[in-house]
Amino acid sequence: MKILVVGLGSIGMRHARNFKTLGVEQLIGCDLLEERRQKFSSEINGDIVSTLEKGLYKKPDLVVVASPNRFHLEQAKTSARNGCHLFIEKPVSHTLEGLDDLITLVDEKSLFAHIGSKWKFHPAFKTMKKIINEGSLGKITGAQVIAGQWLPDWHPWEDYRNMYSAKKDQAGGIVLDSHEFDYLTWLLGPISKVSGYTAHTGALDIETEDIAVACMQFESGVL
């Protein structure tokens, strides 16, 4: 199998290392930044390219989309048009516009597409799922999730103000860091109603919201 990893930041390199550990021999790294390409070349010992188009020219079987959020959808669609299976880091997109086109492409070409929402595979979450499904807690009527992290500590090796999470034009922000929405629907079922608030408190020197609250009702009646 030949795999193209698009975006060689923290998560892209993590995927590349995992593929190498699993024995994938043909890995291609794609990034606009020369220093990231060279790091991939020296650590992974794979081919490097500077654009998605150059990577697709090498005819990969699978494309891993690990670029900043605002590029996900178009890079996924371009890869699908070229017949590549997809592993897309969450979120698939920062907008709903164009998502149906991607779904149509994947279906028409019989492609595999997976979203990188990993918490469902954590042993603790798998245990929660088992307990809920067995009914040992009785009827679930409510759930609360509190999640947060001090952004400067997330990637201590770089200036948090330059991270995609801090930039509006790169579709950063809390809401699009969508793990909680993903595992809650997995645990509790589809959401029927949602309302919420976001705010920029000024505690961090970022362009995006730094706090968000979502209130959801699930089709099961759970709040």
Residues 137 and 102 in one domain: no
Query: Does residue 86 lie within any of the structural domains?
Result: yes
Which string of b and e fits 49-67 if b means at least 16 CB within 10 Å? beebeebbeeebebbbbbb
Residues 190 and 206 in one domain: yes
Query: Does residue 207 lie within any of the structural domains?
Result: yes
Q: Are 26 and 46 contacting, i.e. CB atoms less than 8 angstroms apart?
A: yes
Q: Give the tens place of pLDDT for each residue, 91-126.
A: 999 889 999 999 999 999 999 999 998 899 999 999
First-to-final CA distance of the chain: 44
Q: Give the tens place of pLDDT for each residue, 12-44.
A: 999 999 999 999 999 999 999 999 999 999 999
Mean of the pLDDT values across residues 184-213?
A: 93
pLDDT band at 196 (very low <50, low <70, confident <90, very high): very high
Query: Does residue 155 lie within any of the structural domains?
Result: yes
Residues 129 and 205 in one domain: yes
Specify the pLDDT at position 13.
98
Which string of b and e fits 159-175 if b means at least 16 CB within 10 Å? ebeebbbbbeebbbbbb
Mean of the pLDDT values across residues 179-203?
A: 94
Residues 43 and 12 in one domain: yes
Considering 49, 81, 116, which residue would you say is the last residue of a domain? 116
CATH of the domain at 104: 3.40.50.720
Q: Give the tens place of pLDDT for each residue, 135-184.
A: 999 999 999 999 988 888 988 888 989 887 888 777 788 888 888 999 99
Residues 158 and 190 in one domain: yes
| Range of weakest confidence among 22-31, 72-81, 202-211 | 202-211
Report the percentage of the chain scoring pLDDT > 70: 100
Residues of the domain holding 12: 2-116
Query: Does residue 223 lie within any of the structural domains?
Result: no
> Residue with structure tokens 């993590």?
14
Specify the pLDDT at position 14.
96
Specify the pLDDT at position 177.
81
| Structural domains of the chain, count | 2
Query: Does residue 144 lie within any of the structural domains?
Result: yes
Residues 80 and 39 in one domain: yes
Residues 158 and 89 in one domain: no
Instruction: With 0.85 as the threshold, say if the pTM is over it.
Output: yes
Residues 93 and 179 in one domain: no
